[in-house]
Amino acid sequence: MQNRYSFGGDEHLFVECDESMSLEAFFKSLSMTNAVRDSQIKGVTEICPANASFQIKFNPDIIRPDDMLREVQAIESAASKTDPVIATRIIEIPVFYQDPWTHETLMRFRERHQDPKATDLEYAARINNYSTVDDFIAAHAGSPWFVSMVGFVAGLPFMYQMVDRPRQIQVPKYLRPRTDTPKLTVGYGGCFSCIYSVRGAGGYQMFGITPMPIFDPEQKTSYLRDFMVFFRPGDIVKFKPIGREEYDHTVEDVAAGRFAPAISDVTFDLREFQKDIDGYNARLEGMINGR
């Protein structure tokens, strides 16, 4: 697949790696934005990877738009010759599925939902051909996810399921967006899972909640003291289902500064992954906390 280039006004170069979402398109977007960052092109002010595309903001007083385009196109031809390998990290995120807070919220907005008589999880399980909600949760928590984009609002991760396409979960967004979503809700829309970093409006289906803050502008959370945003594009996430007791404990631990997310550095190789997805994922999961 060949990139499609377009200018977003006089200050942005917009690059679509593919119209469709795929791990290959995401990987191309991520490796190209890494290469652009490494090349230190003068005049570049922002480098933003997205799911299957990316965007470079530049100062046209320093680099002419046509020169900017040529620089990035040169990187594309060089990038096609490099190995699809990135150094990243795998993170375990505890999730309290079917929690009381998202349940209360989804009941309040039932008239905006495709299936007002079912919960978001019951609806998502049914349309993805899972016979029970528990089976669906097992699938959501059963494979790792790539953080394919951080954004919309501060620190919100979009996550793409690392399975082959027939097994990919897909769920439409609410018919009309809610005006409220609890902070740290684990949501789902299209083929992406997300975690709402702040409370607010939202259209994604709500599956559960994590006790682990991912955005802290005051930087009081122990693991957010260095930087207020937790996620980075390219992170790999594994959800760990927890119950009410562990949820409450974790909330207390976070407040007391005792909680440390389980994180390990990993190298991801797209070719090795594609040879044996389940085996590769099992090895990745084994690396969380060096287990």
Partner 1 sequence: MAVKVLNPGLSTTVQDLGRPGYFHLGIPIGGAMDRLALRAANLLVGNDEGAAGLEAVFIGPHLEFTRDALIAVTGADMPIKLDGEEQPSWTALKVRAGQVLSFGFLQTGARIYIAIAGGIDVPIALGSRSTYPIGALGGFKGRAIAKDDELPVGSAAAGTEGRSIPKALRRRPGMPAELRVLPGLYWHRVTEESHRNFFDDQWKVAPEADRMGYRFRGGRPLQFVERDQPFGAGSDPSNIVDSCYPYGSIQVPGGTEPIILHRDAVSGGGYFMVGTVVSADMDLIGQLQPNTPTSFVKVDMDGALKARADRAALLDRIRSVFD
Report d(CA 144, CA 162) in Å as an integer: 6
Exactly one of 43, 142, 182, 190 binds partner 1 (CB under 8 A); which one? Answer: 190
Binding residue for partner 1, selected from 124, 133, 141, 150, defined by CB under 8 A? 150
Are 160 and 273 within 8 A, CB to CB?
A: no
Q: Site residues for partner 1, window 225-244 (CB under 8 A)?
A: 228-229, 231-233
Which residues, numbered 202-221, are part of the site for partner 1 (CB under 8 A)?
Answer: 215, 217
The DSSP 8-state label assigned to residue 202 in this structure reads: B
Contact in structure between 159 and 232 (CB atoms under 8 Å) = no
CB neighbour burial string for 170-192, b if at least 16 within 10 angstroms, e if fewer: ebeebeeebeebbbbbbbbbebb
Return the residues of window 59-118 that contact partner 1 according to CB under 8 A.
60-61, 65-66
Residues in region 35-64 near partner 1 by CB under 8 A: 45-55, 57, 60-61
Interaction of residue 200 with partner 1, rule CB under 8 A: yes
CA distance 33 to 228: 22
- 224 close to 216: Cβ distance less than 8 angstroms: yes
Q: Give me the least distance between CB of 88 and partner 1, in Å please.
A: 15
3-state SS assignment for residue 186? strand
Residue 38 or 83 having the CB closest to partner 1:
38
178 binds partner 1 (CB under 8 A): no
Choose between 1 and 87: whose C-beta lies nearer to partner 1: 1
Among 34, 181, 197, 205, binds partner 1 (CB under 8 A): 197
CA 165, chain centre distance (Å): 17
3-class secondary structure, 236: strand
Cα 140 to Cα 172: distance, rounded to the nearest angstrom: 16
- By CB under 8 A, is residue 277 in contact with partner 1? no
Q: Which residues, 4 to 33, sit near partner 1 by CB under 8 A?
A: 6-12, 14, 16, 18-22
Residues that bind partner 1 (CB under 8 A): 6-12, 14, 16, 18-22, 45-55, 57, 60-61, 65-66, 149-156, 158, 165, 172-173, 190-192, 197-198, 200, 215, 217, 228-229, 231-233
